[in-house]
Structure 1
Amino acid sequence: MFVGDSLNRGQWISMVCLLQSAVRADKRSVSPNAPLTIFRSEEYNATVEFLWAPLLVESNSDDPVNHRLDERIMRPDSVLKHASQWQHADILVFNSYLWWRQGPVKLLWSTEENGVCEEIDGRGGMELAMDAWANWVASEVDPLKKRVFLVTMSPTHFSSQEWKPESEGNCYNEKTPIDDEGYWGSGSDLPTMQMVEKVLRRLSSKVSVLNITQLSEYRKEGHPSIYRKFWETLSPQQLLNPTSYSDCIHWCLPGVPDVWNELLFQFL
């Protein structure tokens, strides 16, 4: 089961595409889009599932469709709502990062149903969520029976100045990878990565890290850019300026997430 945001959903779609060619069409199915989406293979008695949980803990962004909110509220100590849906899985692949880069979040502790929400910056909120997630892993995961993976941050390519000084663009119309060995863009926050490493240290061998960050940093040409379905109708002004609405976050399929799954396969 993949658990997380739309980037993890992309990796789930990649996995389903890679696997379904080995399953007869009349022996496979996909459930309707919902918080929990399931690919089933009757022949192998197996499922590959995706659970929408962008902050890992309970939040007002848990609706997979209606989550474009001006104000994000999370329950930093409440992981059980989502855990009840993922705990049956033999293999768990988690991610959480980019949603914490969208500004401050508000905290609503489980003991304060009608309490005042405290505001915290995104990295601080992520650390609280990761702590709650880690507590669940520490208490509930037997590494002899269940494999747990955490996917590291997925890079973005919003400013071409980072790989081509004096240019004024983003991933739009890019056709080749970055060839600067060790390139690291501003979208990948090192302090956040260090915080996650600190959380993972106390989990010992219970979690394997799927480190996709550096290899994906080079792939500025791997995003869908303007070639995707957008939530809202694009204005004439946007259509005249493709860089203004290019998606430089998600990844094309087939594409980079297929490589992530090849790495996952090697772990398994």
Structure 2
Amino acid sequence: MKGGIKGLKVSQVSLIFIGLLCATLIALASTKPTFLASLIPSQSQVLQLYRGSRQTPKQDNSSSLQTGAQQVRSPSPSQIGSGDDANATTTADRDTNISNELSGGTNKSKQAKNVLIVESPAERSHLKKNCNYAKGRWVFDDSRPLYSGSGCVQWLSPMWACRRTQRTDFQYERLRWQPKDCEMEAFSRSKFLQRMQDKTLAFVGDSLGREQFQSLMCMVTGGEESPEVLNVGYEYGLVKARGAKRPDGWAYRFPNTNTTILYYWSATLSDLEPLNVSDPATDVAMHLDRPPSFLRRFIDRFDVLVLNTGHHWNKGKLESNRWVVHVGGVPDAEGKITIEAAKNIAVRSVIGWVNSQLPSFPGHKAFLRTLSPRHFFNGDWNTGGTCDNTVPLTYGSEVVRDGSSDPVLAEAVRGTNVTLLDITAMSQLRDEGHISRYRVRGVSEMQDCLHWCLPGIPDTWNEILSAQI
């Protein structure tokens, strides 16, 4: 017949071909998962490739972390490193004639500073989401430290550069903090400056805040001489006054990215007002309910603000500085306000004020760093207290608690847009990282178990800060 094959019409032949095609497709569909599985990498393989691309240094997770060793109970900032009156009672702060001697040490900063993590904004957001940076453990990392303590002479005070002292053990430099429930990106100086382009980061606090400031300057410069960095302290009134030992702070700008990093000394985060400006020995009103005038004047310029206070809230400090507690412009003449209560008033006041200012400056961020722990054993700073241990992680390597070890400051930021930079518990595990007895010239009978060696623990504080910017 016309149009047929062996008696079949064209329409019938077409239907047969369509049927065969459908059957073929169904057969392929049933075998596709198995077939494709051999060609597509598994999720674990993808993750392994991603982690490998970060060039994560080899970690020592062995039992050596839990050692059983016995515990023995406007010049640059580095040029004015001694005599820090934020902790004037320690010997380290009295070393006013420290030399610029250099001792050993290998600059490993070049190994890590150029390692970049390529990530999309969505990936970065995932890394930060719900991350409790305070919970985790210390691990050994051969790529540490992030800079050379003997090389970062431009920014690092000699009294805190333990590579330049008589100390000979430096295991404390090799530890890195690993948060438990999230991935913390490796610090990259170029990435940090890129994020902070046309921005200002301000540290406002005591001498531990100054250590964090110097640590960040060393991290961002890789511990190398950086003559291109500009001293812009004059823009903030941070110049040495006549008769003063040092300015009230320092400010430096990286011209390539217009990034400014500064520090201002305010040990109590309260406004200090001399009662008689013509008398050098006058008492000073410490207004607990008024933020420092420096903060009130410049907060609009601070894209990132890091506050800290803690070790000046004791009778000795208040008396030696002639600070008189004031609330509502009135002195606490009868001493009804305890020192602990005064601290709480000051912290809540400054946090409340900063929180009220943040809506006026979209994109600005504020942090309150928790207390940096002391490690005086068998006494205090003036009664023979020591911190002679040189073995890292003698008391453990891990923080497992969920809440902060500084509940007062944690409560102060609750319900605000100020972020808690919680470093207390992780730092508590690192008693071997303090200055101890070591000085550039010999050793001292009076030990500094408050300040930290740099490179050291404050570098980790800055890594956590950078991860949240």
Give the TM-score of the pair, scaled to structure 2. Answer: 0.45
Shift of 1:3: 0.5
After TM superposition, give the deviation of residue 246 of structure 1 in Å: 0.4
Q: Which amino acid aligns with 1:174?
A: N
* Match in the other structure for 1:43: 256
State whether structure 2 residue 168 is matched by structure 1 residue 6.
Answer: no
Across the aligned residues of Structure 1 and Structure 2, the Cα RMSD in angstroms comes to 3.3
Contact 1:104/1:121 (CA < 8 Å) preserved in 2? Answer: no
Q: Which runs of 5+ in 2 are unaligned?
A: 1-201, 234-238, 240-245, 275-280, 319-323
**Equivalence map 1:76-225=2 (5 Å):** 76-87=288-299, 88-102=301-315, 106-109=324-327, 111-112=329-330, 117-119=333-335, 120-142=337-359, 144-159=362-377, 170-171=386-387, 173-181=388-396, 193-203=406-416, 206-225=417-436
User: What displacement does 1:6 show?
Assistant: 0.2
Paired amino acid for 2:468:
F
**What residue identity is the alignment partner of 1:266?**
A
- Relative to 1, partners in 2 of residues 1:59 and 1:44: Cα closer, same or farther, differing over 3 Å? same
Q: How many angstroms apart in 1 are the aligned matches of 2:262 and 2:372? A: 20
> Match of 2:220, SS?
helix
After TM superposition, give the deviation of residue 35 of structure 1 in Å. Answer: 1.3
Q: How many angstroms does 1:251 deviate by?
A: 0.6
CA distance in 2, matches of 1:116, 1:229: 43
Cα displacement string for residues 226-252 of structure 1 (whole angstroms, at most 9, x for unaligned residues) = 33489xxxxxxx95xx2xx10000111
The higher radius of gyration belongs to: 2
The DSSP-based 3-state class of the residue aligned with 1:247 is strand
1:60 positional shift: 6.4
Superposed displacement of residue 181, structure 1: 3.4
Question: Retained in 2: the 8 A contact 1:93–1:150?
Answer: yes
2:448 is matched with: 247
**Aligned in 2, Cα 1:144/1:23: closer, same or farther, shift over 3 Å?**
farther
Q: Deviations over 1:185-238 (max 9, x none)?
A: xxxx96xx32222221131xx1111111111111111111233489xxxxxxx9
- Residues 123-132 or 26-35, more deviating: 26-35
Give matches, 1:5-44, under 5 Å. 5-21=206-222, 25-30=226-231, 31=233, 33-44=246-257
SS at match of 2:435: coil
SS of 1:180's partner is coil
In structure 2, give the amino acid aligned to 1:48: I
Q: In the superposition, relative to structure 1, how do residues 73 and 246 fare at CA in structure 2: closer, same or farther (>3 Å)?
A: farther
Q: For the structure 1 residues 99 and 25, does the alpha-carbon distance in structure 2 shift closer, same or farther, using more than 3 Å as the test?
A: same
Identity across the alignment (%)? 28
How far apart in 1 are the matches of 2:285 and 2:333? 8
Q: Give the secondary structure class of the aligned counterpart of 1:145.
A: coil
Stretch moving more, 125-134 or 139-148:
139-148
Paired with 2:464 and 2:315, the residues of 1 have a C-alpha distance of: 29
Q: 1:35 to 1:229 in 2, by over 3 A?
A: farther
Rounded Cα–Cα distance in structure 2 between residues aligned with 1:118 and 1:104 = 19
2:31 maps to which residue? none
Q: Output the CA distance in 2 between the equivalents of 1:22 and 1:50.
A: 18
For residues 1-50 of structure 1, the C-alpha deviation after alignment (integer angstroms, 9 at most, x for no partner) is 00100000000000001112399834213446421311211121111000
Structure 1 gaps of 5+ residues are 62-68, 162-167, 231-237
Deviation at 1:116, TM superposition (A): 5.9
TM-score (norm 1): 0.75
C-alpha distance in 1 between matches for 2:292 and 2:272: 12
Query: Which range moved further: 103-112 or 80-89?
Result: 103-112
CA distance in 1, matches of 2:453, 2:273: 28
Q: Secondary structure at the match of 1:8?
A: helix
Q: Any conservation in 2 of the 1:134–1:200 contact (CA below 8 Å)?
A: yes
Q: Is the 8 A contact 2:272 2:292 kept in 1?
A: no
Shift of residue 140, structure 1, vs aligned partner: 0.4
Tell me the distance in 1 between the aligned counterparts of 2:371 and 2:223: 30
Over 3 Å counting, the alpha-carbon distance change for 1:37 and 1:104 in structure 2 is: closer
Q: Secondary structure at the match of 2:432?
A: coil
